[in-house]
Amino acid sequence: DLQAIPDARWDVYALGALLYHTLCGHAPYRNDQSESVIRGAGSLSERLSAYQNLIEISPRPGEHRKIPGVDRHLAEIIDRCLEPDPHLRFPNAQAVLDELEQRDQARAKRPLTILGFLGPILFLLAMSWIARSAIPDVVEASNSDLINGLLAGDEVTANVMAHGVESDLLSRQDELEKLADEAQLRDFIRLSAETPRETWRDLKSPLEQWYETRQERLQNADRSRDRSWFLTNGVGDQIARFPLPLEADDTIGKNFAWRSYFHGGVEEYSRDAIPNDIHPRTEPGISTAFRSDVTHQYMVAIAVPVWDEEHQNVIGILSRTIDLPDLLAPWERRVQGNTTNEINHDADRFLSLVDAREERGFLLDHHWMTREAMQGMTDAEIDEKLRFSKETMDEIRNSSSSANFHDPIAAAGLDSQYSGEWLAAFAPVKQTGWIAIVQESRAQALAPFNALHSVFWQYGVATLVVFSLMLGILWYLIHRAST
């Protein structure tokens, strides 16, 4: 406007146009159409009016923002210089210079701002890497310490159990040895020899009184009762038994020379294939385990020889039987911390018993080997499925514990409940050829530390989120203050 009073804001617009021309190579709003419009105007005032109208109706120039090196702050300075409304421009050239100096200062601070932003991020990444590497190592070390501690405890338990079972068997054996030297027992054996076999069941033997008295003592001492007591003569014929079996299942009068409790060997012969040179045992001992006709679980007989007065000939064998689950029951309850008489068959810590006298030992007792489970298995199936592999038996015989034990019940495909790895401790039961096993679920034992591992990661993620949020807010405030 030629009639307007000159204003410093005119110079500001001119400065903005000069900067725009320097960057883009042409004046703002200049194009073929705008040039033809301005040239078509007559006088200078008409040209100025046309240019003013062109500025008002045209979009704001933005080509300078596309020039490499032009940052947002510089583009905003140019835009403000080119504001159509004079009141929105910088008041004078000095204000433009001040804004450019502020831009230079902000650009000088930018590396520090970036460093202030990247520094904590790098620190966070370093801490995350350390945590990612350290947490598994810490948990693994803790797991290892826990496993070693549990195995040490299991070894103590297995040894105490093995010693306890051995002591229990020996005390029962000592009791039989004393009774085997009783004169009335020898007299009864001689009486049976003079009595027809079919009347042996009616003979009054000393076993009844002895059995009742000893079972009461066992019960008072919180020990397992015997299943039966019986007496055979020098050729293996059973001449007395208590409790008396049902007549339909009567064993009195039958020959049991094929049983290991009679001949003292390891092998159980066939009833119809007894060696001709078989003879009664001369030393007390524990028989090879055999299956009960009642429970179908394993049981053993503790047997001692009955000598004549001159101690020259064995005239009979005195025996007592006990079911292996009953023998182990008191120890099973202690292992489970159970104060009742019930055994928890779903427990993650329990006892097993292995006959290790053969190269591939087999299970004598196990949580899974209940009456119901054993009733459905034949001897052939047991021999196939309840035997350990040679490698596992070597481990059981030659080490005191294992942190990666595999249960034979799961290996045989009988019950997946026992699959996976177990912590197991082994201890031999002397004078029997058995090995006691205390085993507990590795997964359950390590569950607390696995949970701790999860907690570590949860807190780590939460820390990362909070730290990132705080870093974002801090960066925003710094960036805002610097601009």
What is the pLDDT at residue 464? 76
What is the pLDDT at residue 113? 64
User: How many structural domains comprise the chain?
Assistant: 2
The answer, yes or no, to whether the previous bond of 275 is cis (omega within 30 of 0) is no
Domain check: are 75 and 157 in the same one? no
Strands annotated E in 381-431: 401-405, 422-429
The closest alpha carbon to 406, from 416, 425, 419, 390, belongs to 419
Q: Is residue 199 part of a domain?
A: yes
- Is there a contact between 289 and 141 (Cβ–Cβ < 8 Å)? no
Q: Is residue 429 part of a domain?
A: yes
Domain check: are 74 and 168 in the same one? no
Q: Is residue 96 part of a domain?
A: no
3-class DSSP assignment, residue 419: coil
What is the pLDDT at residue 343? 56
Q: Which of 50, 76, 91 is the last residue of a domain?
A: 91
Domain check: are 156 and 75 in the same one? no
Count of other CB atoms within 10 angstroms of residue 126: 10
Q: Is residue 113 part of a domain?
A: no
Domain check: are 74 and 212 in the same one? no
Q: Is residue 77 part of a domain?
A: yes
- Is there a contact between 230 and 207 (Cβ–Cβ < 8 Å)? yes
- Is there a contact between 215 and 225 (Cβ–Cβ < 8 Å)? yes
Q: Which of 91, 106, 128 is the last residue of a domain?
A: 91
What is the pLDDT at residue 253? 94
- What CA–CA distance (Å, rounded) separates 476 from 284? 90
Is residue 247 packed enough to be buried (19+ CB in 10 Å), middle (13-18) or exposed (0-12)? exposed
Q: Which of 48, 73, 91 is the last residue of a domain?
A: 91
Domain check: are 196 and 322 in the same one? yes
Domain check: are 26 and 153 in the same one? no
Domain check: are 47 and 182 in the same one? no
Domain check: are 178 and 44 in the same one? no
Domain check: are 179 and 33 in the same one? no
Q: How far is CA 391 from the centre of its chain?
A: 23
What is the pLDDT at residue 183? 95
- The answer to whether the predicted template modeling score (pTM) of the entire model surpasses 0.75 is no
The closest alpha carbon to 379, from 227, 256, 258, 270, belongs to 270
Query: How many residues does the structure list for the chain?
Result: 483
The closest alpha carbon to 238, from 300, 138, 160, 317, belongs to 317
Question: For residue 234, what is the domain's CATH number?
Answer: 3.30.450.20
Q: Is residue 414 part of a domain?
A: yes
What is the pLDDT at residue 344? 56
In the predicted model, residues of the chain with pLDDT beneath 50 are 2
- What CA–CA distance (Å, rounded) separates 309 from 287? 25
Query: What tokens were used for 134?
Result: 């350290």
Give the domain range for residue 13: 8-91
Q: Phi and psi at residue 90, in whole multiples of 5°?
A: -60, 145
What is the pLDDT at residue 254? 94
What is the pLDDT at residue 482? 58
Q: Is residue 97 part of a domain?
A: no
Domain check: are 152 and 254 in the same one? yes
Q: Is residue 121 part of a domain?
A: no
Domain check: are 237 and 164 in the same one? yes
Sign of CA dihedral 86, 89, 91, 92: negative
Domain check: are 176 and 84 in the same one? no
